[in-house]
Amino acid sequence: MTVRQSNPGEPLPLLVRKSCIAIQQEVTALKEAVEKFANDPQASCPRNTDARAWRRANHRYGAGQRRLGLLGQQQARLMFVNAYDHLVTMGRALGSDGTVSLYAHTTLSRAVCEAAVRVAWLLDSAVSYEMRLARSAAGLLASAESRVQGASAIPVKHLGAEQRQSLIAASEEVRDKAIRVIESAGFRRNMNKPGNKVASIELPVAHVKVPIKLDITSLMSELLPESPTWYAISSGVAHSATWALDSAIVSDQFESNLTLTPDVMEIAAAAETVISASALVIKTYGLYYGHNPDTRVCRSQQRRDVLDRLMVRHIAGASS
């Protein structure tokens, strides 16, 4: 298969090189923006109003709400780092050593986008304090439950009964701790109809209810509308669906030895999408910490616009 250019001295396609540069610029912009915003919260920002709300809460639940709120911020930080790490790696996959990935840039972009929309969901400045707490609780419990499920799914023959049970017990302890935090903040867990799984988190006094299972597909469409179908495309690559993989075929697809090369339009589309995801994180952090993120978000959009124009030129050149 062909991943490196057939002629080592031949430069990578312009669209690939520009996509790589745009991502590298976005990496720097994202890190700089988030650090600036988070290290300088403004007086009336949602982050500070959340802190004041913890202090005003019912004395029975105030400490628990503070803990839950801080855990929500921590979840968002970890998700930001995950997005940043995958964004950096995507830049490396697009030509820094003269090679370009066939498909990995797509799955990397998927991770960036999913982390970005989760950050935006957790730190949403447009919702109430109680809703942000509920989302923190839902994310915390969903993560803990997934850990228990993962430990329980390990076959005994691979780990040994004692070690497996120890891992399950440690995971259950993490989940039980999460439940205690959630309940100490005044929230309750609602079970599904069979009664074997938590379906939602609810704060009755505030009429706030959040499902445990987050609909990422809908969230992607809502928060990253410039790339409405990208999550489905990236899902196809992540799950090795042939329809998503065959764009790299440049030889007769029935040959025993396929010749494959990256689809440069898909590379540019992936780059555009992660730039939008980065801009979403920048906007979310800016608003949550009380800053105006518009200038920074505009710069991200300008990087995307450059790729848009290059894609149009690439199509025109290919069809001429």
Going by pLDDT thresholds of 50, 70 and 90, the confidence category of residue 159 is: confident
Chain segment 83-117, per-residue pLDDT in tens = 999 999 999 999 877 788 888 999 999 999 999 99
pLDDT at 164: 87
Cα 41 from Cα 35, distance rounded (Å): 11
Q: Take residue 27 and report the two structure tokens written for it.
A: 């990496």
Q: How confident is the model at residue 189 (pLDDT cuts 50, 70, 90)?
A: very high
Distance of CA 158 to the CA centre of its chain: 31
Quickly state the pLDDT bin for 241 (edges 50, 70, 90): confident
**pLDDT recorded at residue 149:** 92
Predicted confidence at residue 246, as pLDDT, reads: 78
Tokens of 276: 């939008």
Taking residues 139-164, what's their average pLDDT?
Answer: 89
Q: Where are the domains of the chain?
A: 14-319
Mean pLDDT computed over 47-51: 94
Specify the long-range contacts of residues 293-302, CB closer than 8 Å, at least 24 apart: 293/33, 293/37, 296/29, 296/33, 299/29, 300/26, 300/29, 300/275, 300/276
Least confident of 59-68, 105-114, 233-242: 233-242
Residue 49 has pLDDT above 80, yes or no: yes
pLDDT bucket at 2, cuts 50 / 70 / 90 = very low
The per-residue pLDDT for 320 is 59
